[in-house]
């Protein structure tokens, strides 16, 4: 179910109305769990069985790990079983077709078993709720007390896990939650406790980014994979603008989803973590990954990079760890070699950056900082080409056309439209770059900004489209 659909609006309003009825307060958790199940099963009811299976496995094994903490041998059996089951589900449903195409290409159509693997459906959001299951088991193994396991029966624990994994605002595209941060929030909620201003601001920003910025830019960036136009129509300026447009689009699309998820969750009394922190003002590639998709990058850091040794085992091992993490981070995004290459691209960038940081001292000044921001933005934007184009070989065609089509006539109408929809995002980042703080006097004029955003949502929204990260 899409956040920008009428069906979602009906679900949100009806769930909200039932959730805060005083005589139903004791079953609020079950109301959210049922609403989340309906949300997930809306387009494909059969796939709800996979989500239920994930919740059952992770809640049962998590409870076993926490309740038998003194028997370390038994605990590790439960833990390993949980990790294997979670990763096996992810591998089968997301990567079975990719593995067949890679290792058995000649059998993908002639062999019925391999043909079946090629046709396995991709359950929406499986990458997100699988990672949450893994983090639940790891955190429970480390410290069951922080997850409120003591004195808690399996039914109570199951409710918490079901809401943690299935809570519909974050279910399909994150943010990726941590049980130790979410579990303490699971309690009865009251209507009077809602932070209406926070919810309003988050929802308006989210829908503006998605419906006005991302959806309008998509009408132009969809042409990036048009080989005929790449070779014969687009000028170098057009291709540069498309590259800028896609960078703005993917940020607006995913930041829009995250803000809507955060705003929706707050209506039900839950706080989700911020997922973006002005990534396009990053002064380094490492800084970019501290600001972009924060819940995923911190998950990879805590559950993969640190266990591999992080930066504690010398320079070379640090470079290897960085590369492995980014390679797997790229593969997490999709079952295609282009995502592996995209991960390797960022991994290589981090290694080179780390090497120069370790061996060369740069004196920072405003000019150096500006060049760093521009350089990182260009690096990231070129990487989005690998990420977004339908096939990896399109990347080389695009780059070639970018340098060869200098003499072709530019489309100035495109220039104006892309600039109009990019300016709000650029100003949004500029405010962060200049560290402008809204004083009390300035905040009283916020209503003008949000009135404009609301007006734009109702009058200037683009054609409704699926959120980009739904495919992951």
**Residues with catalytic annotation?**
333
**What string of DSSP letters covers 125-139?**
THHHHHHHHHHHHHH
- Structure tokens given for 416: 């104006």
Q: How far apart are the first and last CA of the chain?
A: 15
Find how far residue 214's CA is from the centre of its chain: 15
148/125 Cα distance (integer angstroms)? 27
302/320 Cα distance (integer angstroms)? 16
42/168 Cα distance (integer angstroms)? 12
Task: Classify residue 301 by its DSSP letter.
Answer: I
440/442 Cα distance (integer angstroms)? 5
- Residue 410 buriedness (CB in 10 A; 0-12 / 13-18 / 19+): middle
Question: What 3-state class would DSSP assign to 247?
Answer: helix
Task: Please report how many Cα atoms fall inside a 13 Å half-sphere around the Cα of residue 300, on the Cβ side.
Answer: 24
Residues in the chain: 472
177/272 Cα distance (integer angstroms)? 7
Kindly provide the residue ranges of all beta strands, DSSP E only, lying in 278-328, ordered along the sequence: none
* Whether the bond into 175 is cis, omega within 30 of 0: yes
Torsion angle defined by CA atoms of residues 210, 216, 218 and 222, in that order, rounded to the nearest 10 degrees: 170
371/380 Cα distance (integer angstroms)? 14
Convert 47-79 to b/e letters by CB count within 10 Å (16 or more is b). bbebbeebbebbbbbbbbbbbebeeeeebeebb
For 150, other C-beta atoms within 10 Å of its C-beta total 10
Alpha helices by DSSP H, 95-145: 96-103, 112-118, 126-142
Task: Classify residue 5 by its DSSP letter.
Answer: S
Question: What 3-state class would DSSP assign to 306?
Answer: coil
2/143 Cα distance (integer angstroms)? 36
Quick one: CA dihedral 205, 123, 179, 15, positive or negative? positive
- Structure tokens given for 379: 């690096």
């Amino acid at each position: 179910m899409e956040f920008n659909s009428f069906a979602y609006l009906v679900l949100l309003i009806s769930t909200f109305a039932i959730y805060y009825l005083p005589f139903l307060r004791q079953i609020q958790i079950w109301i959210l769990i049922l609403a989340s199940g309906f949300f997930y099963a809306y387009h494909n009811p059969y796939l709800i069985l996979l989500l239920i299976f994930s919740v059952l496995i992770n809640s049962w094994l998590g409870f076993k790990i926490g309740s038998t903490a003194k028997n370390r041998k038994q605990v590790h059996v439960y833990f390993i079983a949980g990790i294997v089951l979670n990763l096996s589900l992810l591998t089968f449903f997301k990567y079975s077709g990719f593995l067949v195409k890679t290792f058995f290409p000649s059998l993908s159509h002639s062999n019925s078993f391999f043909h079946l693997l090629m046709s396995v459906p991709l359950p929406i959001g499986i990458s997100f709720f699988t990672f949450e299951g893994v983090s639940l088991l790891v955190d429970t193994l480390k410290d069951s007390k922080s997850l409120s396991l003591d004195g808690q029966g399996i039914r109570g624990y199951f409710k918490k896990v079901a809401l943690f994994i299935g809570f519909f605002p974050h279910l399909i595209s994150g943010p990726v939650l941590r049980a130790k941060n979410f579990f303490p929030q699971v309690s009865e909620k009251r209507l009077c406790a809602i932070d209406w201003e926070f919810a309003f601001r988050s929802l308006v920003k989210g829908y503006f980014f998605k419906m006005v910025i991302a959806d309008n830019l998509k009408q132009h960036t969809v042409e990036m994979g048009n080989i005929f136009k790449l070779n014969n129509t687009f000028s170098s300026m057009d291709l540069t603008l498309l590259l800028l447009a896609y960078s703005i689009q993917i940020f607006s699309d995913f930041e829009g989803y995250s803000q809507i998820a955060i705003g929706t969750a707050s209506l039900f009394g839950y706080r989700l973590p911020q997922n973006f922190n002005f990534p396009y003002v990053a002064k380094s590639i490492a800084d970019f990954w501290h600001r972009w998709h924060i819940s995923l990058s911190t998950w990879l850091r805590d559950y993969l990079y640190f266990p591999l040794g992080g930066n504690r085992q010398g320079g070379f091992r640090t470079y290897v760890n960085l590369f492995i993490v980014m390679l797997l981070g790229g593969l997490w995004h999709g079952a295609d070699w282009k995502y592996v290459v995209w991960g390797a691209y960022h991994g290589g960038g981090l290694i080179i950056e780390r090497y120069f940081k370790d061996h060369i001292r740069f004196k920072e000044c405003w000019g150096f900082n500006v060049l760093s921001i521009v350089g990182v933005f260009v690096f990231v934007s070129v990487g989005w080409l690998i990420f977004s184009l339908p096939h990896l070989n399109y990347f080389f065609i695009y780059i070639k056309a970018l340098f060869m089509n200098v003499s072709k006539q530019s489309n100035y109408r495109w220039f104006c439209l892309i600039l109009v929809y990019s300016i709000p995002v650029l100003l949004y980042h500029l405010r962060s770059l200049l560290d402008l703080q809204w004083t009390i006097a300035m905040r009283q004029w916020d209503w003008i900004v949000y009135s404009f955003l609301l007006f734009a949502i109702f009058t200037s929204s683009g054609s409704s489209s699926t959120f980009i990260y739904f495919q992951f």
